[in-house]
Amino acid sequence: MQPFPIDQVRALFPALTRRVGEAPAIFLDGPGGSQVPQRVIDAVSGYLLRQNANSGGVFATSVETDAMLDEAHAAAADLLGANDPGEVAFGANMTTLTMALARALARTWNAGDEVLVTRADHDANVAPWLLAARDAGAAVHHVDVCREDGTLDLDDLTRKLSRRTRLVAVGCASNAIGTIHPVRRIAEQAHAAGALVFLDAVHVAPHALIDVAAWGCDFLACSAYKFFGPHVGLLWGRRELLETLPAWKVRPASEALPHRWETGTLNHEGIAGTLAAVEYLADLGRRLDPAADGRRAAMVAAFRAIQAYEQDLSRLALARLAAIPGLTLHGIADPARVAERTPTFAFTHARRTPAEIARFLAGRGIFTWSGNFYALALTEAMGLEPDGVLRAGFLHYNTAEEVERLGEALAELP
């Protein structure tokens, strides 16, 4: 495997040339949405310029649109580790797709059934299940987190999982503090109890290879704008479930997958951009491993390199943040455990609120977020409300120099 080509990667992202005053901007806002490579911009504009049409027609632009949609489904299946492109549905975003799936699953539940969610999750993987359980008369139990490092309390999951559990919903990684959860182990345990498993892969998608087959889940959702694409959601589910669950759709729409779950006219230009984002990742893998055979193999190579590079950034960031007086990191802080977290860092400061720190950093061209990022149950469980945390998230287009600039700026906090 070749060294990670950070200079070549950065050259592909036009936004990274932005400056704030005299300094280059540092984009540490990736957990809220990544920047996009030029090819994604070109794909979106190119579709609108040359192919813009509804699907299902016999004329050129419609035929080309249908071909693009077919290829996008195939690319999305490769990204997610699925063998069947029909198992992938596109939609507005992960939240909207999850709401639709939850409404369908609720029709299969009865009073007395149970659902497990976690206190580590974004509310998009909690509220849909709360609403679905309410409609079905089912009970919802929350899996706790370990306050000291923000990991899931797996003993608590074992205690709360039962033969009445119909669904376990868990995030692959925390969007607030970066913790990666052992989803394969959780899926095996849930299936042994007879429950289905839904995974929220939004935060993990730009950091690690998604593998629905290896993880053993029944459903998974993510959003392209977190993995270098436009604002488009993706839902994967096992074919036999997607074909039999009751889908809310207009009557003339096709019952065939994936159309059964793709309500209304899709965001074609956004899906064209999503296809380009997947191809960006695949091309990165081909560059790093010319022997990679096929798009999925290329993405395996890409994410192997991305994880190694980001773990180096994580070790550096952990050391730099630990040296800042008054700063407390929340989540996994041990450099020996960087494989258990994404390079997403949440911290508080003894003298400044997270909002104050975000404004201070923004004035120095460093883009971060403050608050709870819809992971309210987590920040409450860790005693971090009402102000939440300051979140700085690194992606594979960030650099060690940017880690140092963040540390230098934080050391200058008044």
Q: What is the mean pLDDT of the chain?
A: 97
Q: Are strands 389-393 and 369-371 parallel, antiparallel or unpaired?
A: antiparallel
> How does pLDDT run across 7-20, given as a tens digit for each residue?
999 999 999 999 99
Q: Which of 379, 355, 381, 380 is nearest to 369 (CA)?
A: 355
What is the separation of C-alpha 80 from the centre of its chain, rounded to a whole number of angstroms?
12
Question: What are the backbone dihedrals phi and psi of residue 60, each rounded to the nearest 5 degrees, phi first?
Answer: -55, -50
Report whether pLDDT(287) > 70: yes
Report whether pLDDT(139) > 70: yes
Q: What is the largest CA-CA distance in the chain?
A: 66
Dihedral sign of CA atoms 371, 374, 375, 380 in order = positive
pLDDT of 68 reads 98
Mean pLDDT, residues 227-241: 98
Our CA angle for 278, 281, 282, nearest 5°, is 85
Q: How far apart are the first and last CA of the chain?
A: 44
Q: Are strands 233-237 and 26-27 parallel, antiparallel or unpaired?
A: unpaired
Distance CA 169, CA 121 (A): 9
pLDDT-based confidence at 256, cuts 50/70/90? Answer: very high
> How does pLDDT run across 116-136, given as a tens digit for each residue?
999 999 999 999 999 999 999
> What DSSP letter does each residue of 239-287 carry, written as one string?
HHHHHHSPP---TTS--STTGGG--SS--HHHHHHHHHHHHHHHHHHHH
Percent of the chain beyond pLDDT 90?
97
- This prediction has a pTM of 0.97
Distance CA 243, CA 261 (A): 9
pLDDT-based confidence at 252, cuts 50/70/90? Answer: confident
Distance CA 94, CA 175 (A): 14
Distance CA 112, CA 232 (A): 35
Question: What are the backbone dihedrals phi and psi of residue 118, each rounded to the nearest 5 degrees, phi first?
Answer: -125, 160
Dihedral sign of CA atoms 184, 117, 384, 343 in order = positive
Report whether pLDDT(1) > 90: no
Sketch out the chain's domains with CATH numbers: 6-37+304-411 (3.90.1150.10), 43-278 (3.40.640.10)
Residue labelled with tokens 């102000």: 387
